[in-house]
Chain A
Amino acid sequence: MVPLSYYLVLSGILFGCGVLGFLIKRNIITIFMSIELMLNGVNLSFVAFAAHWHALSGQVFVFFVMVVAAAEAAVGLAIIIAVYRTRETLNVDQVNLLKL
Chain B
Amino acid sequence: MAGAVNLLVQSHPINSALSLVAVMASLAAEYLLLGAEFVAAVQVIVYAGAIMVLFVITIMLLNAGAEERTKGSRIATLLGVPGVTIGAVLVAWTLLGRSSTTHSVSIGALWGAPKDIARLLFHEFLLPFEVTSVLILIAIMGAVVLASRPEAGARGTRKDEG
A43 CB contacts on chain B under 8 angstroms: 27, 39, 43
Known contacts being A7-B105, A63-B42, A81-B62, is A12 close to B88, with CB within 8 Å? yes
Chain A residues, Cβ within 8 Å of B124: 57
Across-interface contacts of A17 in B (CB, < 8 A): 6, 9-10
Q: Does A56 contact B62, Cβ atoms closer than 8 Å?
A: no
How many residue pairs link A and B with beta carbons under 8 A? The number is: 229
- Grouping DSSP codes into helix (H, G, I), strand (E, B) and loop, the B interface class, with mixed when no group exceeds half, is helix
Q: Is the CB of B139 within 8 A of A81?
A: no
Q: Would A93 and B9 be within 8 Å (CB), given that A25-B67, A81-B147 are in contact?
A: no
- Interface-central residue, B20, B50, B58, B106, by most chain A CB under 10 Å: B58
Roughly how many angstroms separate A22 CA and B124 CA in the complex, as a whole number? 36
Q: Which of A8-40 contact B (CB under 8 A)?
A: 8-10, 12-14, 16-17, 19-21, 23-27, 29-30, 32-33, 36-37, 40
Determine the interface band of chain B, counting residues with CB < 8 A from chain A.
Answer: 35 or more
Q: Considering only CB atoms, which chain A residue lies closest to B50 in the complex?
A: A70
Main secondary structure of the interface of A (DSSP, over half): helix
**Residues 98 to 118 of chain B near chain A (Cβ within 8 Å):** 98-99, 102-107, 109, 111-112, 116-117
B64 at interface by CB-CB < 8 Å: yes
B146 at the interface (CB under 8 A from A): yes
User: Which of A's residues lie within 8 Å of B, judged by CB?
Assistant: 1-5, 7-10, 12-14, 16-17, 19-21, 23-27, 29-30, 32-33, 36-37, 40, 43-44, 47-48, 50-52, 54, 56-57, 59-60, 62-64, 66-75, 77-82, 84-85, 90-91, 93
30 A–B contacts from the bound complex (CB under 8 Å): A3-B105, A5-B102, A9-B91, A12-B91, A12-B95, A13-B88, A13-B92, A17-B6, A26-B68, A27-B13, A27-B14, A29-B64, A32-B55, A36-B20, A43-B39, A47-B31, A51-B36, A52-B102, A56-B116, A56-B117, A59-B36, A59-B38, A59-B39, A59-B112, A69-B46, A71-B136, A75-B142, A78-B144, A82-B147, A84-B62
